[in-house]
């Protein structure tokens, strides 16, 4: 299985290789999930740099890089998964910028 930290490293590497308009970096908002729906599920949300250092335990894994978030989704990430508000605010501005330029 590809672990979440390894998947994040690979995404960063691929993004660097493409090079043009980078979206995947240490400040990218990500949600990592392990064993969802089981009694020992684990979910973490935060910046890519924060999640690279988390041990998610055994598989299976899922990884989410969100787009535009509804305010209730933002609140859920901060309340349920201790995501820092600054990470969400930064991501909100980055997504707006990307959408504006497309």
CA 69 to chain centre: 12
Instruction: Output the pLDDT for position 3.
Output: 95
pTM: predicted TM-score of the whole model, two decimal places: 0.91
Give the span between the Cα atoms of 24 and 14, in whole angstroms: 9
CATH of 4-100, one of 3.40.250.10, 3.40.50.2300, 3.40.190.10, 3.30.950.10: 3.30.950.10
Question: For the residues 17-32, what does the mean pLDDT come to?
Answer: 85
Closest to 81 in 3D by CA, of 34, 38, 39: 34
Give the span between the Cα atoms of 29 and 46, in whole angstroms: 6
- Dump pLDDT digits (tens) for 41-86: 999 999 999 999 999 999 999 999 999 999 999 999 999 999 999 9
């Amino acid at each position: 299985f590809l672990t979440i930290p390894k998947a994040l490293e690979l995404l960063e590497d691929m993004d660097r290789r493409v090079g043009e308009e980078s979206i995947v970096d240490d400040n990218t908002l990500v949600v990592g999930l392990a064993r969802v729906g089981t009694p020992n599920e684990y979910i973490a949300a935060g910046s890519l740099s924060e999640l690279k250092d988390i041990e998610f335990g055994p598989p299976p894994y899922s990884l989410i890089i969100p787009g535009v978030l509804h305010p209730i989704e933002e609140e859920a990430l901060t309340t349920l998964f201790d995501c820092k508000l600054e990470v969400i605010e930064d991501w909100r501005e980055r997504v707006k910028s990307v959408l504006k330029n497309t």
